[in-house]
Amino acid sequence: MWNPYEPLSARTTRVLGVSAVLFVLLAWTVLSASGWISQNKLPSPWRVVKAFSYLAWDSVNQRSLLWDATLWSVGRVLAAGLLVIAIGIPIGVLMGASPRVNSALSPLVDPFRSAPVVALLPIMVMWFGIGEWMKVLFLFFGAVVFLIPMVRDAVRAVPQAYWISARDLGASPFEAVWHAVLPLAMPRIADAVIVGISVMWTYITVAEYVNAGEGLGQLISNARRFSAMDQVFAGIIVIIAFALLSYQLMHFIKARLYPWETKL
Amino acid sequence: MSAAVGISVELKDIIQEYPHKDGKGVLRVVSGVSMTLDRPGIIMLLGPSGCGKSTILHMMGGVRPIGVQTPTSGTVLIDGVPCSEAHDDAVMVFQRYANRPDLSVEDNVSFPFRLKHWRTRVAPAEAKSRVDAMLKAVGLDGHRRHLPSQLSGGQNQRVALARALVLKPRILLMDEPFGALDAQTRTEMQALLSVMLETNPCLVVFVTHDVTEALLLGDRVIVLSAQPAVIADDFAILEPRPRSATWQRSSEALKMEERILAQLHSASPGRGSLRVSV
């Protein structure tokens, strides 16, 4: 039992995981059926499933709230994700490649890792209004403050021997970074992107809190306003599912791009 | 060994100091080392751990660590010219090979030709034929599409050796190149190096901890003292390579071995950190 290195079979892993989930579902069902907690506070799993199916297809209005909301949220995460990759990675690489750049930028970047990003929302609203830009920039900001230090550390984690060896073979300092350090940092830079995108899913509800007509976050805050706890639960589960799905997808892509990584 | 390659490496009164780790004062690692290496062959550089062997090797290659002036005083002359930058004459081979894990064997060996410096000096066709010949010579022709992770330690070191020799350097600087290999593989690599030098004659400066290796490969053995290093001993081995097991057990070889060990032991009185495999 207490052997951290014990190899588990796929079956054991699955059985343990599924039974834990089943146990929670069972406890949830019992708890909500017992009547100790009102259905408004803790809807039963069945009601959440019904809410989910209503959100998935509203037969009265002939539309899928969930589909529309998901498209909007995914779109915002993608837009912010592209911004994070296009702006965050170059900044992190520059900081990692040059201690001078790092000394200059790190006081501007690092403190925000522990800053209450959510508290910045009112400022973002003041600066960028309540439109689409504000939401995307909020997501961007929340993720990029994590991504930049991770990218920097990824570059710095490459052993100096690679840089020295490339220099010895005739590379200019920049070439040594470009041809010897950066390629080796790529898997960990990909990890930084994965963390950045995952962080965005946790901020999506906040981003869509202000003046969103659509989106999963808006769907949840709307449902809460009408005390539709079952819909709140369904919305949260959908967000978690998408966060997990994108996480798995990104890991799959990363493994394809850098098959040599684990063997470094 | 063919004497076709004229080369001279001269160290004059090299002193090297590093700032202390606690930030106070300096640590003297090399204390006035002078040597003249002026003919092709293998120069074995021995000494106790931390005596500055690698530092001296890096100086010869013109590879500068960051933030420290090297050497603190003294000069390194290559063919009589002071050397202050990484230069074409010398290429290094490291213990940890520094192969790009994302590139195939072939791309690793042709890696230098991606760099502007060599692109402007070696035509692509010439580069290709050099790489092909080198892959055959080190016995990796059948592995050219493999990634370094699919190779053994010895094969990875072959890649590093090929990548160095493909530039036709006049000086090959080897920093404990076989130190991380198992005994069997080390023997193979030592034999390969001997053979490779027949066809690619150059001046090899070879840093090692291993007295047996020094006696097996060296045309000349330079023993450094403990930190701060001075030259403790310097002698030639005239026995031609490959050196037989009989010679290695001869009284001549045993005397040399004792001579080196005596220096290494006196170099580090009472220190348990001496790493010598005998």
Global pTM reads: 0.84
Chain B residues close to A182, C-beta within 8 Å? none
ipTM over 0.90: no
Chains A–B, number of C-beta pairs less than 8 Å apart: 66
A164 with B63: Cβ contact below 8 A: yes
Strands B220-224 and B203-208, bridge-based pairing: unpaired
Structural tokens at position B177: 């190149």
Give phi and psi for A255, each to the nearest 5: -65, -35
Which of B101, B102, B115 is facing A171, going by the closest CB pair?
Answer: B115
Bridge partners of B35, per DSSP, are: B11
Binding-face residues of B in 69-98 toward A, CB within 8 A: 86, 88, 90-92, 94, 96, 98
Span B18-62, pLDDT tens digits? 888 787 888 888 988 999 998 889 999 998 877 888 889 989 988
Give phi and psi for A4, each to the nearest 5: -60, -15
Structural tokens at position A54: 């209503």
Q: Which residue has the tokens 């420290």?
A: B68
Span B159-205, pLDDT tens digits? 999 999 999 999 999 999 998 899 999 999 999 999 999 888 899 99
Chain A residues close to B161, C-beta within 8 Å? none
Burial (CB count within 10 angstroms: exposed 0-12, middle 13-18, buried 19+), residue A200: buried
Which of B88, B91, B102 is facing A260, going by the closest CB pair?
Answer: B102
Return the residue of B nearest to A161 by Cα: B98
Q: Please tell me if residue A182 touches chain B, with a CB cutoff of 8 Å.
A: no
Q: In the prediction, which pLDDT does A261 show? A: 84
Give me the half-sphere count of Cα atoms (radius 13 Å) on the Cβ side of residue B137: 24
CA distance A93 to A99: 11
Tell me how close the Cα of B274 comes to any Cα of chain A, in angstroms: 24
| Ranges of residues in chain A whose predicted pLDDT is under 70 | 262-264
B91 with A169: Cβ contact below 8 A: yes
Span A112-138, pLDDT tens digits? 888 888 888 888 889 998 888 999 999
Span B235-268, pLDDT tens digits? 999 999 889 999 999 999 999 999 999 888 875 5
Q: Please tell me if residue A174 touches chain B, with a CB cutoff of 8 Å.
A: no
CA distance A140 to A114: 16
SS3 content of chain A, % helix, strand, coil (to 5): 80, 0, 20
Q: Please tell me if residue A257 touches chain B, with a CB cutoff of 8 Å.
A: no
Q: In the prediction, which pLDDT does B270 show? A: 42
**Cα angle: A238, vertex A240, A241; to 5 degrees:** 60
Report which of residues A66 and B135 the model is more confident about.
Answer: B135
**Residues in CB range of B133: below 8 A, 6 or more apart:** none
pLDDT band at B96 (very low <50, low <70, confident <90, very high): confident
Q: In the prediction, which pLDDT does B274 show? A: 43
Which of A165, A258, A263 is facing B98, going by the closest CB pair?
Answer: A165
CA distance A73 to B178: 56
**Residues in CB range of B25: below 8 A, 6 or more apart:** B19
Widest CA span of chain B, in angstroms?
Answer: 57
Omega within 30 of 0 (cis) for the link into B71 = yes
Q: Which residue has the tokens 């020799």?
A: B165
Q: Which residue has the tokens 């899928």?
A: A64
Structural tokens at position A91: 């900044």
Tell me how close the Cα of A3 comes to any Cα of chain B, in angstroms: 29
CA distance B17 to B201: 34
Q: Which residue has the tokens 């961007």?
A: A140
Helix (H, G, I), strand (E, B) or coil at B21: coil
Q: Please tell me if residue A180 touches chain B, with a CB cutoff of 8 Å.
A: yes
CA distance B257 to A212: 82
Return the residue in B93, B102, B120, B157 with the most chain A beta carbons within 10 A, the one to mutate for interface testing.
B102
Tell me how close the Cα of A169 comes to any Cα of chain B, in angstroms: 6
Q: Amino acid identity of A195?
A: V
Tell me how close the Cα of A255 comes to any Cα of chain B, in angstroms: 13
Task: Provide the 10 A C-beta neighbour count for residue A131.
Answer: 11
**Cα angle: A31, vertex A32, A34; to 5 degrees:** 65
